[in-house]
Every structure is written in structure tokens, then in C-alpha cells.
Amino acid sequence: DAKTTQPPSMDCAEGRAANLPCNHSTISGNEYVYWYRQIHSQGPQYIIHGLKNNETNEMASLIITEDRKSSTLILPHATLRDTAVYYCIVRVDNAGNMLTFGGGTRLMVKP
């Protein structure tokens, strides 16, 4: 699986959009971009994933650049409960494939 690079930490004001970047310059054509988050003392939680088109669900939006070398996870209206470590992972989209977690970004949402 390709490696990813994320800033170690970010702050965001409550109610504002949180934009979390991820670089994955060595991504292969069949690898998807996945985002998970881990709230303190809980297991990781799936957020969203995509291949090349932008994706949106009830939790977030995922913007993938045209060359697929980077992406941005957008939490449109961050709340205090969104404080967590956010992991960007690239992987082939098969059921048996593991997740290789990198360092992640620790997002702190402040009042």
C-alpha cells in the first residue's frame, strides 16, 4: 500500500469547516483513499472513501485532486465531538485488505 503524509496536528474553531490534507504521491491506479478517525479511547471509525471522484456523505466530504496525489477531508461544521485523530489511508479496495495506519492528524476543535 502507498504511504501517506499528514500534518501531525490542526486546530479548528467550533462551527467552522475543518479541512484536513493528505499527500499520497505514490498512489497506484487501483488504490482508494480512505479516511478513518479515532476519538480518544475508542476504536477507529470509518468516515469516507473514494477513488478519483469527489465524495460526500452525512459525515464529511472528500476532495481528491485530478492527479490523485493528494486529497482533503472536509468536515463542514466541526463540533467539539469531532476532536479526534484522523487517518488517511490508501489501499486496494478488497475485503481482506488490511489498513496500514500512518501518523494521522490530531484535530482539536475549540469552542
Q: Is 26 in the site for another protein (CB under 8 A)?
A: no
Nearer of residues 14 and 108 to another protein, judged by Cβ = 108
Q: Is 53 in the site for another protein (CB under 8 A)?
A: no
Build a one-symbol-per-residue string for 77-106: x at contacts with another protein by CB under 8 A, - elsewhere. ----------x-----xxxxxxxxxxxx--
Q: Is 39 in the site for another protein (CB under 8 A)?
A: no
Question: Using CA atoms, how far apart are residues 98 and 69, in angstroms rounded to an integer?
Answer: 21
CA distances for 64 relative to 18, 40, 48, 80, angstroms? 16, 27, 12, 26
Nearer of residues 53 and 66 to another protein, judged by Cβ = 53
**Beta-carbon neighbour count of residue 48 at 10 Å?**
18
> Which of these ranges, 8-16, 19-27, 33-41, 66-74, lies near another protein under the rule CB under 8 A?
33-41
> Which of these ranges, 13-21, 41-49, 58-66, 67-75, lies near another protein under the rule CB under 8 A?
41-49
End-to-end CA distance of the chain: 37
Question: Given the DSSP bridges, would you call strands 31-38 and 61-64 parallel, antiparallel or unpaired?
Answer: unpaired
DSSP code, position 78: -
Q: What residues make contact with another protein under the rule CB under 8 A?
A: 36, 38, 41-46, 49, 87, 93-104
